[in-house]
Structure 1
């Protein structure tokens, strides 16, 4: 699944986030990369564990975890802690695969899905495209500020070099309660059908209850744990 969700952050919330990035403590992003990824990572990352960064982290997490389309597509059991990255001229994040497990202790999770929430207006920087090498071919994304791209963590991906301006993005990972990717896709398709029927049929139409039953039983069958 390679999915772009539009306007996950609205204009007001986006402006709020961008205003707060100037108060953050930025560090070498290579410190958080593992294995081969460390050698190809050239960016900065913000400290989101204390001070203004902690409040910004909580705001972004609340917004993302409540987004209905992201929830329907990812079937999240848990989100990782979020990272905020800044990539300037000559910065990049070369081809790599995300670690299969992230975090420590009770926060440790399996990375089924990765996401990038774009924060910079694409007209303000050159390069910086997110490229994901999927089974069905390569996907390249440089969407509007406030849009989010969701993709499998196991796919090789990269952030192309930035040649002008500055690219700001929030990145994170999701452990899905539905481990099988095809099952997640099927549930997402059914959720889209449910939304479509809701706009076409009266609330008491029997089709609603029948579809609710199918989705509920598939979630029970496919959910981990």
Structure 2
């Protein structure tokens, strides 16, 4: 299941980040991939210890902590600090599956990748190509979101980024270890949360809201792994 979270950043905020990234020191992205994935990866990436990347990543984490849609969809336990990449000049990332576990830079902490996230920073009409293509078995999803919008999808999804044939595609990307590891259970909790919010907006005094909210938290209590 893919979940779009619109307007995590405003278009002006995304433009400001792009302006700063345009002056950044980029390295070849293949050096950050595993043995198999490195053969498919042709982009540029900021080093994990790049001061600008750390600053921007922390700002994004702060914004996500205040984004209800992200909290409801991901139920985050741990979030790997965001990284930044740049695709241009036919840059692409062939079909691959993300690593299962990531080390947090500068620490002994590890994050299991239950969910992958891409925060689009470039306006979709400013570059050609660069779609994120995800394979869900029966059909391919091709995604190119507005600047400032974010895509969440299961980290075990086979996916790729198609070649950018003109312009530049900037993005932040990161992984989340969820309180609820199983994707189907997260989906059910998200559906229940949406139903509670819809009922509360139509009939805020409905006593069923309390019952359904209790059900949500009891399921979360049953399924959460900390």
Q: TM-score, normalised by structure 2?
A: 0.94
Q: Report the alpha carbon displacement of residue 25 of structure 1 after superposing the two structures with TM.
A: 1.8
* 1:217 and 2:211 are equivalent in the alignment: no
The alpha-carbon deviation at position 66 of structure 1 amounts to 2.6
- Shift in Å, 1:107: 2.5
Contact 1:48/1:56 (<8 A) preserved? no
SS of residue paired to 1:98: coil
The Cα offsets for residues 109-156 of structure 1, whole Å up to 9 and x where unpaired, read as 111110111111111111110001014421110111111111111111
Could you tell me how far apart the structure 2 residues matched to 1:172 and 1:51 are? Answer: 17
Instruction: Give yes or no for the alignment of 1:107 onto 2:109.
Output: yes
The 8 Å contact of residues 29 and 45 in structure 1, kept in 2 or not, is answered as yes
Select the residue among 135, 140, 144 that pairs with 1:138.
140
Residue segments in structure 2 that go unaligned for 5+ positions in a row: none
Where does 1:18-29 land on structure 2 (aligned, <5 Å)?
18-29=18-29
Is the contact made by 2:114 and 2:154 (CA closer than 8 Å) also made in structure 1? yes
**Retained in 1: the 8 A contact 2:58–2:81?**
no
TM alignment of 1:1-225, pairs within 5 A: 1-47=1-47, 49-103=49-103, 106-202=108-204, 204-225=205-226
* Superposed CA RMSD: 1.5
Q: Tell me the distance in 2 between the aligned counterparts of 1:83 and 1:30.
A: 14
Deviation at 1:48, TM superposition (A): 5.2
Query: Cα–Cα, structure 1 residues 107 and 24, in superposed 2: closer, same or farther, change >3 Å?
Result: farther
CA contact (8 A) 1:48 1:57 kept: no
More deviation in 129-138 or 49-58?
49-58
* Secondary structure in structure 2 of the residue aligned to 1:216: helix
Deviation, 1:106, is 3.4
Q: In structure 1, list runs of 5 or more residues that go unmatched.
A: none
Shift in alpha-carbon separation, 1:53–1:130, aligned structure 2, 3 A: same
Instruction: Find the residue that maps to 2:146 and give its secondary structure.
Output: coil
Contact 1:43 1:93 in 2 (8 A): yes
Whether the 8 Å CA contact 2:15–2:122 is kept in 1: the answer is no
When structure 1 is superposed on structure 2, of 32-41 and 96-105 the one drifting more is 96-105
Residue aligned with 2:194, SS: helix
Aligned length: 224
